[in-house]
Structure 1
């Protein structure tokens, strides 16, 4: 996954923000916050996760599917991995 290493710091910042959002959801539930606030926090966290997923999917597609130096077998493996991730996400 060396292609992710080039953006590692940015990805880790996103993950840490998401972790903070999840903690905010937990704190809201523990403090009996109203459901509107909790819904807003969950929706924002989901959006952040979707953004992270999109970024990693794009990096995977560019490196393991569309890269011009790949063999047909490497492309097939890249597509299979991508489709597997999409299937898991959509469940």
Structure 2
């Protein structure tokens, strides 16, 4: 079972919030709201999508690199691999901000 199936409820909740934000942008454009309000909604949806991307990517890295791929050096290499995944995720999260 993939990691997106295990954490499906919170991921779907994020997607539903993003759908609501997209609908709010559509309404704002239809109603002719001020540019700043529309830009603020766009920035919010971008942040939400980036957060979703980071969460799914982190689950993928942890599930497929740490749990399913045995370390070539044995179990003692697992903490080093964990640290590498943590480092990659810090970089990804800073990039997505």
TM bucket (normalised to shorter chain) is 0.7 to 0.9
Please give the residue correspondences for 1:8-87 in structure 2 after superposition, counting only pairs within 5 Å. Answer: 8-67=8-67, 69-70=68-69
Equivalent residue pairs, number: 73
Runs of 4+ in 1 over 3 A off after TM superposition: none
Give the Cα separation in 2 of the matches to 1:2 and 1:57. 12
In the superposition, the TM-score normalised over structure 1's length comes to: 0.72
In the superposition, the TM-score normalised over structure 2's length comes to: 0.68
Deviation at 1:71, TM superposition (A): 5.6
Deviation at 1:5, TM superposition (A): 1.2
Structure 2 regions of 5+ residues with no counterpart?
72-91, 93-97
Specify which structure has the bigger relative contact order, considering alpha-carbon pairs within 8 angstroms and separated by 6 or more residues.
2
Larger Rg: 2
RMSD, matched Cα: 2.0
